[in-house]
Chains A and B, each alone.
Chain A
Amino acid sequence: MASIGLINYATFMGTMIGIYGVLALGLNIQWGVTGLFNAGIAGFFAVGAYLSALITASPSPERIMGWELPVAVGWLGAMAGAALIAWPIGRICLRFRSDYLAIATIGVAEVIRLVLRTEEGLSGGARGITGVPRPFGGLEYSLSQFAYFALVIAVLLVVYWALERQLAAPWGRMMKAIRDNEQAAAAMGKNVEKRRLEAFVLGAAVMGLAGALYVHFMRAITPEAIDPMIATFLVWIMLILGGSGNNRGAILGAIIVWIIWSMSEFITDQLPAEIATQAKYIRVFLIGLMLQLILRFRPEGLLPEESGQRTSPHLPPSR
């Protein structure tokens, strides 16, 4: 019992890490490689999650769609949907500099969240969507968990591989050039606005895929799941901690933050009962402390960007 239990727990954690890893990879394209401060991750995550749920769940008189299509279609739909939402947002907002872009994307994510929360006919409103199928969901508990874990990790690896290819190509170098010195890149004849839009849409599509992975794991989606704390800022912490600009850093950040987030509860349980309730807040504190320490002692993250040319976007590039 105990060892099977531990494996089940590790499987669950691995699946969540895989989902957050995909999210962090999506953010890495936008922030790490292109320098776009997207503070609206939850919005694209939500679009992906709801869309995939609507495409694959069975129909319900309370809301639209419910097409019962295969899960793979749902995933593709989630990516396409998030990209479609990102395109007009990018067209309008990418003209802003980083901090204004952050404000605009936060606003967009809140709009998406509130629409999903209130539009009963679209998303089930506050009650959300249930009955979303899970691949291998019919198997016995441990097996089903493990099969889905393997699937999520496979998706994570595919996304990682594709992004690595993309970043190693001239496109990746061009993005870094734009990030580090926009004027210079423009002077070299690069279409800065178009490239930034490409990165923004690509990142959003990856975030939408993460939303789809999540919704089929939980078999349901309610507005609580797209809270900015858990779907935006936690992802930022993962990327900054792991090392922005480095895809492996993004995944490492997801691993470390989720493990600390989840496992610290075992430690707080060892505290005396009188303060055990308050001690649950230690988890939140630990994440914050970790971020502070990293920013103080290793601002480039645990696995910094590899080219060696990278400096903080706020400093002039080194020669």
Chain B
Amino acid sequence: MKKKILASLSALALGGAIASAPAMAQNVKVAYLVAITGPIAGMAPMMVQSMKFAAEQVNAQGGIGNGGKLDPQVYDSGCNPQLATDAATKAVNVNGVIGIVGPSCSGPVIAVANSVSVPAGVLLVTSSGTSPKISTLDDKDLVFRTVPSDDYQGRALARALKARGIDKVAVTYLNNDYGLGLAEAFADEFQKQGGTITASRAHEDKKASYRSDLAELAKGGADTLVVFAYGNSSGLTILRQAIENGFFKNFVGADGMRDEGMVKTLGPDNLKPLLVSAPAGATGAGFEKFGKDFKATGGDPNGTFAATSYDAAFLMALAIEKAGGDKAKLPQALREVATAPGEPILPGEWAKAKKLIAEGKDIDYKGAAGDHEFDAHGDVPGSYILYKVSSSGFAEVERMK
């Protein structure tokens, strides 16, 4: 039994070794690390499909370098650091990939960056790790992301409110990662801008009454209440009770409160004093082009992280083309192809980008999920839109900075 197992194991190892031998010298391997199994398995198929779609477009329009192909290897990161580091180690060491797109979930991103990709000098672009901790990793400029940190929306909202002349607010937030992350970022930025937070209280989900919370919050004398919660749950109850009892005059929420069901339940007239922010991902020329092309292949462009995953994969390919396949030059090349100035490139315009790169011209990728102007941490600021309630749902007020 033992010998048989050993024999089959060595066969396995051998198989792995053979598989790792490059088929064609100029082909370039990248790893797509996606949580195919595990808690977010439901989102994974669309993420994989959009990444592969990017690779197909690259290969259909001339491939990489001089006749080479982009050779994506899909690995399962399981939304779990043990599995993700295992997959990343295989990808980097056995299959010799020069860049990693993914992994999914923030914990695995941190673990893979810490123990595999950064020490090994491999570029990593994640499309779904949103933890603010990823920004502060000691990453030697090798960790990037195409999805904004949870931090940004709260900060953008704080600046937008301050710009609209709102100086005093009370804050209530749902006691989970989402609510807390937004509330912390919002409070930090709002106070930096000179605003005052009269009261800040966490609340638990699914309570029948928040009147005592609201009474406490109203004591500070602010007439604006900021609610970081979900509009189909505690956010709805809080708004209803605050309006009924006249605790506050104005209300502000983030993307969780952009809920059309809530508008129907409470009535658009009652919600006139409500402003909400939401990511601007699903707008713009880049998204339209990606949406049209991706739908034609049977994909769902609105799938969670589909657009960010596509951008991560496409940007990785652009960076490889720009760097001429040189692993060490990838981070610098990624910054050059993603950020202004340069000739704008929309999703799918690989042939055009390839030609411009060959001519030595600077390009600027305008992606499906945003412009991807990376900051010093390799983060994208994300773009957000402020909405007000209209009779038919939500109407845009302004783009937030």
B121 interface residue per 8 A CB criterion: yes
- State whether A130 and B137 are in contact (beta carbons under 8 Å apart), knowing that A263-B13, A277-B45 are contacts in the complex: yes
* Inter-chain contacts of A220 with B (CB < 8 A): 81, 107, 110-111, 114
* Nearest CB in chain A: distance from B64 CB, A: 19
Is A219 an interface residue, CB under 8 A from the partner? yes
CA distance A140 to B37 in the complex (A): 32
How many Å from the CB of B123 to the closest CB on chain A? 15
A44 in the interface, Cβ–Cβ < 8 Å?
Answer: no
In the bound complex, do residue B180 and residue A267 qualify as a contact, i.e. CB atoms below 8 Å apart? no
> Would B96 and A5 count as touching, CB distance under 8 A?
yes
Contacts of B329 in A (CB 8 A): none
Q: Which residue of A lies closest to B108 (CB)?
A: A224
In the complex, B73 has a CB within 8 A of chain A:
yes
CB distance from B201 to the nearest CB of A (A): 16
Please indicate the chain B residues that have their CB under 8 angstroms from the CB of A8 in the complex.
89, 92-93, 120
Residue of B nearest to A261 (CB): B86
The answer, among B37, B76, B94, for a CB contact under 8 Å with A6, is B94
Q: Which of B89-139 contact A (CB under 8 A)?
A: 89-90, 92-94, 96, 105-108, 110-111, 114-116, 119-121, 131-133, 136-138
Chain A binder among B15-23, B211-219, B313-321, B381-389: B15-23
A280 interface neighbour in B37, B73, B106, Cβ under 8 Å: B37
Residues of A within 8 Å of B94, CB to CB, are 5-6, 9, 266
Query: Does chain A have a CB within 8 A of B244?
Result: no
- How many angstroms between the C-alpha atoms of A269 and B48 in the bound complex? 14
In this assembly, does A151 line the interface, its C-beta being within 8 Å of a C-beta of chain B? no
What residues of B have a CB within 8 angstroms of the CB of A130 in the complex?
Answer: 110, 114, 133, 136-137
Q: Which residues of A sit under 8 angstroms from B36, Cβ to Cβ?
A: 277, 280-281
User: How long is the Cα–Cα vector from A262 to B48 in the complex, in angstroms?
Assistant: 20
Measured between alpha carbons, how far is A128 from B9 in the docked complex, in Å?
Answer: 36
Q: Is the CB of B80 within 8 A of A265?
A: no
Chain B residues contacting A144 (CB-CB under 8 Å) are 119
Chain A interface residue count, CB cutoff 8 Å, equals 53
What number of B residues sit within 8 Å (CB to CB) of A? 57
Asked whether B85 is an interface residue with its Cβ less than 8 Å from the other chain, the reply is: yes
Q: Are the CB atoms of A276 and B131 closer together than 8 Å?
A: no
> How far does the alpha carbon of A218 sit from the alpha carbon of B81 in the complex, in Å?
8
Known: A125-B177, A144-B119, A224-B80. Contact between A265 and B90, CB under 8 A?
A: yes
On chain A, the residues within 8 Å of B85 by CB distance are 12, 218
Minimal Cβ-Cβ distance residue in A for B12: A263
Q: Are B133 and A225 in contact (CB under 8 A)?
A: no
**With contact pairs A5-B96, A127-B132 given, residues A263 and B121 touching in the complex (Cβ less than 8 Å):** no
In this assembly, does B270 line the interface, its C-beta being within 8 Å of a C-beta of chain A? Answer: no
Verify if A302 is at the interface (C-beta below 8 Å from B). yes
Q: Is B296 an interface residue (CB 8 A)?
A: no
For the complex, what is the distance from the CA of A223 to the CA of B5, rounded to whole Å? 34
For A262, the chain B residues whose CB sits under 8 A away are 86, 90
Contact A267 B15 (CB under 8 A): yes
Answer whether residue B1 sits at the interface, using C-beta atoms and an 8 A cutoff: yes
Q: Which residues of A contact B136 (CB under 8 A)?
A: 130
Dominant secondary structure at the B interface: helix
Q: Is B357 an interface residue (CB 8 A)?
A: no
Which residues of B1-53 have CB atoms within 8 Å of chain A's CB atoms? 1-2, 5, 9, 12-13, 15-17, 19-21, 36-37, 44-45, 48
A6-B17, A302-B1 known; A224-B37 Cβ under 8 A: no
Q: Is B306 positioned at the interface, with any CB of A under 8 Å from its CB?
A: no
Given A12-B85, A230-B80; A128-B133 close (CB under 8 Å): yes
A230 contacts B87, CB within 8 Å? no
C-alpha spacing A272/B121, complex, angstroms = 31
Determine whether the beta carbon of B89 is less than 8 Å from that of A277: no
Q: Which residues of A contact B87 (CB under 8 A)?
A: 265
CA distance A185 to B48 in the complex (A): 58
CB of B83 closer than 8 Å to a CB of A: yes
Is A256 engaged at the interface, CB distance under 8 Å to the other chain? yes
B390 in the interface, Cβ–Cβ < 8 Å?
Answer: no
Query: Which residues on B sit within 8 Å (CB–CB) of A267?
Result: 12, 15
Are the C-beta atoms of B79 and A224 separated by less than 8 Å? yes
Give which listed residue, B20, B93, B110, B114, contacts A12 with CB less than 8 A. Answer: B93
- Using Cβ atoms and an 8 Å threshold, which residues of chain B touch A85? none
Residues of A1-60 whose CB lies within 8 A of B: 1-2, 4-6, 8-9, 12-13, 16
Residues of A99-154 at the interface with B, using a CB-CB cut-off of 8 Å, are 118, 120, 124-128, 130-131, 134, 140-141, 144-145
Are B107 and A225 in touch, CB under 8 angstroms?
A: yes
Out of B44, B96, B116, name the residue touching A1 (CB < 8 Å). Answer: B96
**Is the Cβ of A283 less than 8 Å from the Cβ of B21?**
no
CA–CA, A222 and B103, complex, Å: 15
Residues of A within 8 A of B105 (CB): 224
B107→A223 contact, CB < 8 A: yes
Residues in B whose Cβ lies below 8 Å from that of A126: 131, 177
User: Can you list 26 A-B pairs, Cβ within 8 angstroms, ordered by A?
Assistant: A2-B96, A5-B93, A6-B16, A8-B93, A13-B86, A16-B86, A127-B177, A128-B110, A131-B138, A218-B81, A218-B114, A220-B81, A220-B107, A222-B81, A222-B106, A222-B111, A225-B80, A225-B81, A225-B107, A230-B80, A262-B90, A263-B16, A266-B16, A267-B15, A270-B19, A277-B74
14 additional A-B pairs beyond A2-B21, A220-B111, beta carbons within 8 Å, are A5-B20, A6-B13, A6-B93, A8-B89, A12-B86, A124-B133, A127-B133, A128-B110, A219-B111, A224-B81, A224-B108, A230-B82, A264-B12, A280-B76
Residues in A lying within 8 Å of B, measured CB to CB: 1-2, 4-6, 8-9, 12-13, 16, 118, 120, 124-128, 130-131, 134, 140-141, 144-145, 217-220, 222-225, 227, 230, 256, 259, 261-267, 269-270, 276-277, 280-281, 283-284, 298, 302
